[in-house]
Structure 1
């Protein structure tokens, strides 16, 4: 007669299918160290790294543009005086409109700069959604050139386009696909 803990013929003790007296039969197998540590960060390829630094430079150009914009208040006042749409406004109203315009433009430039840096960090970490958001921001940046062109804004938009192209190169696309599989 056989003991219930004895293995089947040809089966080693402790092999699959045999019950171990001090073991929970419903327990999950133990996790490896890599599984306990969570997803491993993949190193970003060179085009993504270069793109990251171009985004940072674009953000710096945006902040510089905001500072330069504050110095352009007098030019904005002169442009408003020459505009047919402001006929009948007092000098104080024209100056207030110019001040508001300069401040709003500076706030938008600083917000855009912050968003560029935030999403550049996420894109460098392999987040594909950040690459898509940067695409939208770049399109908005390029479209904003239609409202008024300056050399600084043109350089900034060109840098954003170059950084964006780097994020869509084949090596970058493979990085984003691999990052998604790891998560």
Structure 2
């Protein structure tokens, strides 16, 4: 960039800096919201399957343990996936911040997919698939789970939409076409 444009060569635009912070903070925040959502569902399962009373108490304990076992493994798998993806977002975010255009492109692709998933989540209301599980008709997911799921989807939609717009602005394009870490 020339000094006539008001920014010296190599200066990082504010849009890229904000995009970097979105890439670092939002995936971690979504991971935390997912963990809270899991604890809400687990508490509901514990409350439903803990007490049956009478002769069916032992069967309820077995069902409780079976459901919690499946939920635990699903939670661990989900947490590992979220942490790996969060790590990738951070690594790519730092590379993007340093002017690596390949990292910006990779994050725009990931953010675009996230926007689609978030839009579906806002429409459907259950991104974790808990409503697809064959549960007894007497069991209902708590409303707080759906609130958390909608908050997560709305956060993803707004943050990733903003991220895409910020890193594709004209000053961002100039930064990536001639900034540090590029071959131009």
Q: TM-score range by the shorter chain?
A: 0.5 to 0.7
* Deviation by residue 1:60-96 (Cα, 9 ceiling, x = unmatched): 3123224314413426848xx9xxxxxxxx7243322
> 1:178: which partner in 2?
178
> Distance in 2 between the 1:75 and 1:151 partners?
19
TM-score, normalisation: structure 1: 0.61
| Structure with the larger helix share | 2
Q: Which residue of 1 aligns with 2:76?
A: 103
| Cross-structure match for 1:30 | none
Q: Distance in 2 between matches of 1:107 and 1:154?
A: 22
Query: Gaps (5+ residues) in structure 2?
Result: 1-8, 50-61, 121-125, 128-148
* SS of alignment partner, residue 71 of structure 1: helix
Match of 2:150 in 1: 150
What pairs with 1:18-57 in structure 2 (closer than 5 Å)? Answer: 42-57=10-25
Q: How many residues align?
A: 132
Cα offset, 1:123, TM superposition: 0.6
CA distance in 2, matches of 1:122, 1:169: 18
Q: CA RMSD in A?
A: 2.6
Distance 1:112 1:105, change over 3 A: same
Q: Which has the higher contact order (CA 8 A, sep 6+)?
A: 2
- Runs of 4+ off more than 3 Å: 75-78, 143-147
- Asked which structure has the greater CA Rg, the reply is 1
Name stretches of at least 5 consecutive residues in structure 1 with no aligned partner: 1-40, 82-89
Instruction: Tell me, yes or no, if structure 1 residue 121 matches structure 2 residue 94.
Output: yes
